[in-house]
């Protein structure tokens, strides 16, 4: 039996615990996830380097999942455009059951291997792209078939599961197996398994974007300034990076068309928005390169 499906005797009788004791039990279980992820960080790093290389060369990143894993993938992909100003097509999620499955269960779709293959074909996945398959069990037919088809087409493939020696791992070029063990509620892989997968997704998307130059120091300098909260954050970033006063930073942000990188170059090098933009373009959008030029 898969580790993620086993009933752990430590959690027998949890219905008899007080709410506080049950919360403590779940918290203690969740605390083990970080160590499980830490154990596979070399594999995670190797996969991220390979993904970032594809993206740097103009490829796309696709997550493929079903159920909880698929919905986490949708969430992670959706955050890339506002956080890093990526093209909406750069990072996307393919979830078994399609849009209807993003907000609730669509039963049976995760078992449809043909649909997994078809989804990869429909997206035109090819050698330039990277595909990350997520399945806590490591055997979800939709995900395994999608990863196999993507690999057949020459795409970089990664299999992320929470068991060892999985079919998904065999199907992918890069295997990431986070051994979280049995869940507090047996088989409920939205718990520790879901947390582990979210940890790894955070690393894949964020570190890939760092490698693409979309982060300067630890600032999200490529974010979209889409509301008052983000405008305030942008001004704060500009001030902290350049040492400018609030009025000067706000003026530079406005003159830059709400583009933090451009505003920083303007203030640091004493140039106008057009010249700042040109310097960033010559530096492939990397703020550090534009400031050093």
Answer whether 171's CB lies under 8 Å from 150's CB: no
How many residues are given for the chain? 293
| 177 assigned to active site | no
Catalytic residue among 28, 43, 102, 110: 110
Q: Which residues contact 291 (CB under 8 A, 6 or more apart)?
A: 264, 265, 268, 269
Count CB neighbours of 21 within 10 A: 11
Q: What DSSP state is assigned to residue 77?
A: H
| 110 assigned to active site | yes
SS (H, E, C) 19-66: HHHHHHHHHHHHHHHHHHHHCCHHHHHHHHHHHHHHHHCCCCEEEEEC
End-to-end CA distance of the chain: 58
Q: Across the chain, how many H-helices and E-strands are there?
A: 12, 5
Catalytic residue among 79, 102, 179, 248: 79
Burial 208-219 (b: 16+ CB within 10 A, else e): bbebbbbbbeeb
Tokens of 230: 């983000």
- Name the residues annotated as catalytic: 79, 110
């Amino acid at each position: 039996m898969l580790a993620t499906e086993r009933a752990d005797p430590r959690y027998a009788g949890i219905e008899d615990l007080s709410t506080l004791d049950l919360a403590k039990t779940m918290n203690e279980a969740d605390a083990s996830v970080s160590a499980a992820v830490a154990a596979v960080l070399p594999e995670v790093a190797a996969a991220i380097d390979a993904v970032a290389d594809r993206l740097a060369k103009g490829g796309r990143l696709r997550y493929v999942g079903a159920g909880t894993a698929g919905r986490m993938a949708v969430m992670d992909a959706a955050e890339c455009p506002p956080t890093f100003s990526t093209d909406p097509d750069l990072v996307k999620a393919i979830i078994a059951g399609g849009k209807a499955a993003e907000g609730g269960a669509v039963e049976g779709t995760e078992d449809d291997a043909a649909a997994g293959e078809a989804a990869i074909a429909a997206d035109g996945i090819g050698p330039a792209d990277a595909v990350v398959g997520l399945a806590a069990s490591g055997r979800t037919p939709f995900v395994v078939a999608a990863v196999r088809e993507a690999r057949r087409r020459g795409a970089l493939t990664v299999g992320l599961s929470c068991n060892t020696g999985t079919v998904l791992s065999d199907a992918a070029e890069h295997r990431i197996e986070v051994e979280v063990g049995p869940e507090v509620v047996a088989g409920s892989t939205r718990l520790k398994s879901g947390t582990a997968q979210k940890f790894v997704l955070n690393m894949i998307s964020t570190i890939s974007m760092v490698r693409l130059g979309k982060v300067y120091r630890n600032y999200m300098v490529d974010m979209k300034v889409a509301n008052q909260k983000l405008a305030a954050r942008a001004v704060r970033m500009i001030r902290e990076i350049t040492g400018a006063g609030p009025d000067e930073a706000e003026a530079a942000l406005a003159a830059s068309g709400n583009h933090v990188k451009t505003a920083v170059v303007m203030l640091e090098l004493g140039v106008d928005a057009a010249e700042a933009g040109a310097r960033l373009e010559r530096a492939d959008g990397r703020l550090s390169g534009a400031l050093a030029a």
